[in-house]
Amino acid sequence: MKVKIMEMKDDSMRLLIENSTPMFVNMLRRTLLNDVPKMAIEDVEFHLGPIRHEGKDYESISPLFDEIIAHRLGMLPVPTELDMFTFVDKCKCDGAGCPSCTIKYMINKTGPCTVYSKDLEVVKGWLPGDEKLAEEKFKINDGNIPIVKLTDRQALMIYATAQLGTGKEHAKWQATSGVGYRYYPEIKINTEKCDGCGKCVKSCPKNVLAFKGKKLEIKNIEECNLCKSCENVCSSGAIKVKGDDSRFIFGFETDGSLTPKDALKTALKIMGEKCMDFEEKIKKI
């Protein structure tokens, strides 16, 4: 099997996978969606009651129900360092929550203002080492996600705990999205049958085909989505389009909690471990 990176951005990746099967590629798709762990906020503690700040009295309430705010916090892309943390149920703290399995955040904002994801700060002294470095490292990557709008004399004071989880448990632990693949396109042009009518060029939604002089050519075959519009409008039958079931264009995005490279490496590692585990169980039968 060969894997080539066609495109890699900060939050997305496209691969060309060759000499493979639909079964393997679909396993990779499912693993990226369901089994790659990431950090997400699991518990939120709201501190209610009056607050005095800079000589003014505030009430620790907001226009939204606490459950809605907690849900919005849970969906934030928390930066994930898989080498630094373990699952809570596998941690030596027996589920109590410690710096080896959890990150503690806090928000302390008074209105009038809009509370954004950038207002979520790591609790000082929670993580070992340099506080400023830890705060910068685990700051929400997209700081402009609105959480709630506070009016005058309203305040929001909360503590939130982030833990590792997987997409099979809840969507908030799904590190990737838009995970999909398609067969690598094969386009064959019979120049003897082609009459140069140009209908195929106009019908292609991806502008894959073009004329160079009087000769029909393929500009960018990897953009072909196998819709067969060109084949369907060609009355002379000069074009044939099909997918190669041993080559795949595979793409996915991340929410920012993991880089595409880290998500892919983790998925492949998990797949290898599952296959080894399956092999060991087969031997015991």
Q: Give mean pLDDT, residues 113-117.
A: 95
* pLDDT single digits (tens) 209-248: 998 888 888 988 999 999 999 999 998 888 999 999 999 9
Q: Hey, is 104 helix, strand or coil?
A: strand
**Domain-embedded: residue 147:** yes
Domain boundary pick from 173, 201, 225: 173
Domain check: are 51 and 153 in the same one?
yes
Domain check: are 50 and 160 in the same one?
yes
Question: Band of the pLDDT at 48, cuts 50, 70, 90?
Answer: confident
Residue 139's CATH number: 2.170.120.12
Model-level pTM?
0.85
**Domain-embedded: residue 268:** no
Domain check: are 68 and 152 in the same one?
yes
Closest residue by Cα to residue 160 from 222, 228, 108: 108
Domain check: are 61 and 169 in the same one?
yes
For 35-182, where are the alpha helices, taking DSSP H only? 66-74, 131-137
Structural domain boundaries enclosing 202: 2-35+177-252
How many folded domains does the chain comprise?
2
CA distance 254 to 247: 23
Closest residue by Cα to residue 56 from 194, 153, 201: 153
**Domain-embedded: residue 269:** no
Domain check: are 48 and 99 in the same one?
yes
Domain check: are 54 and 98 in the same one?
yes
**Over the range 157-178, which residues count as b (16 or more CB within 10 Å of their CB) and which as e?**
bbebbbbbbbbeeeebbbbbee
